[in-house]
Homo-oligomer: A and B are copies of this chain.
Amino acid sequence: MIIVIQCRDKVGLVAAIASTLAKHLLNIVSMREHVDHNENVFFTRLDVEDGDTAGVEDSLRKILPDGAYIAVNPEPVKKVVVLATKEYHCLSDILIRNHFGTLGASVQCVIANHAKLQNICERFDIPFYHISHEGVAKAAFEEQVISAIKQYTPDYVVLAKYMRILSPRFVAEFPMQIINIHHSFLPAFIGANPYKQAFERGVKLIGATAHYVSDELDEGPIIAQQIVPVNHSYSWTDMVKAGQEVETAVLAKALKLVFEDRVFVHKNKTVVFG
């Protein structure tokens, strides 16, 4: 089973944690640990042989600095709500893994602001909510989406190419629970149609970034990134397709890391025990 801890750093933390677990007769199989010395924060993920967890969290809290985050044996199958718009690639990949029990999570429902993806969800018996953003104020639209999400009390909300910018109020409802995927370029291209800009600049790589959503859509702590090579023979729609492939792969990788409790967040940065 897994134990994760995030707290202020102090001398002797590893010894204190290990001793505490030993007193509970919990044998450490594997331990990953990191200290952010600039921020004075300690992160650890322990894989511990199964045993009696009664009282472990209390024992740990006694030897850890105030305000420590502790999770003893967190639920291995997370509850997830997926938000989408029209693009099928990330959603389908999630639905397949969910269907075959390899996602590390259980998809509760899919919510989309277009109806296009309803059919694929139905094929996998996943509840689908079509909540249109048209003809309704953004705040009201978001309330509907938030309500639909909340009835499932998910651990995470996954934006699988959900093309609406979230308001701060929406983000605040699910702090560090929303995971997004978006294309990335070197250099970055600001403004409309970055793929067209990338094409016109003749970039040789197209990337994707999976990240937690904090205040702004594309600016939260980064979980995973990857790139694919492209070249001058790619039209800009070819570049879009190449980007979709890498988006699918990076989101899948990021979700696996998150669902296995391998990702910690402090300020705008992650620690990933991959």
Chain A residues engaging chain B, CB cutoff 8 angstroms? 11-16, 18-19, 21-22, 27-37, 88, 92-93, 96, 99-100, 102, 120, 123-124, 184-188, 200-205, 207, 209, 218, 221-227, 231-233, 241, 245, 249, 252, 268-272, 274
Q: Which of A34, A92, A204, A268 has the most CB of B within 10 A?
A: A204
Are the CB atoms of B30 and A21 closer together than 8 Å? no
Separation of A62 and B245 alpha carbons in the complex (Å)? 43
Q: Helix, strand, loop or mixed for chain A's interface?
A: mixed
Q: Shortest Cβ distance from A183 into chain B, in angstroms?
A: 9
Q: Which residues of B contact A124 (CB under 8 A)?
A: 123
Do B231 and A274 have beta carbons less than 8 Å apart?
A: yes
Q: Closest CB of chain B to A11's CB: distance in Å?
A: 5
Rounded to whole angstroms, the CA-CA distance of A117 and B232 in the bound complex is 37
Interface centre among A31, A96, A202, A233 (most CB of B within 10 A): A202
> Given A12-B18, A224-B204, are A92 and B88 also a contact pair (CB < 8 Å)?
no
A221-B202 contact given A35-B29, A35-B30, CB 8 Å threshold: yes
Instruction: Indicate which residue in B30, B102, B200, B207 contacts A269 across the interface (CB closer than 8 Å).
Output: B200
